[in-house]
Amino acid sequence: YAYWCVECIRMERNTFPTAPVQDLLARLQPIKADVTENNPVDQRLMKEFGIYGPPAILFFDLNGEEMKDYRLVGYFDAETFSAHLQQVLAAQ
């Protein structure tokens, strides 16, 4: 997330607040990294995960390993994001 990221703001307004997404997110442990400042810590975090800029949504299994096949980059509407979350939950 970054305050200057247009797609991040769209997801904050249109995707995340919907009931289906909220119900599915309640079954996960969401963590939001704010890279607004793009400082050395933010840059190191993005480099560590191979992210070129927000929005990027990464999913981790119960062992803390990234589920790379489920990574999302860019904007997703509520319906598409909900379907993706269901796949992530089924794969855990």
**Type of residue at 71:** R
Distance of CA 89 to the CA centre of its chain: 14
Cα separation, 14 vs 4, in Å, equals 17
| pLDDT band of 92, cuts 50, 70, 90 | confident
Question: Taking the model in full, what pTM does it have?
Answer: 0.91
Angle, CA 79 vertex, CA 76 and CA 82 arms, to 5° = 85
**Type of residue at 87:** Q
Burial status of residue 85 (CB atoms within 10 A of its CB: 0-12, 13-18, 19 or more): buried
Average pLDDT over residues 40-50: 96
Average pLDDT over residues 40-68: 95
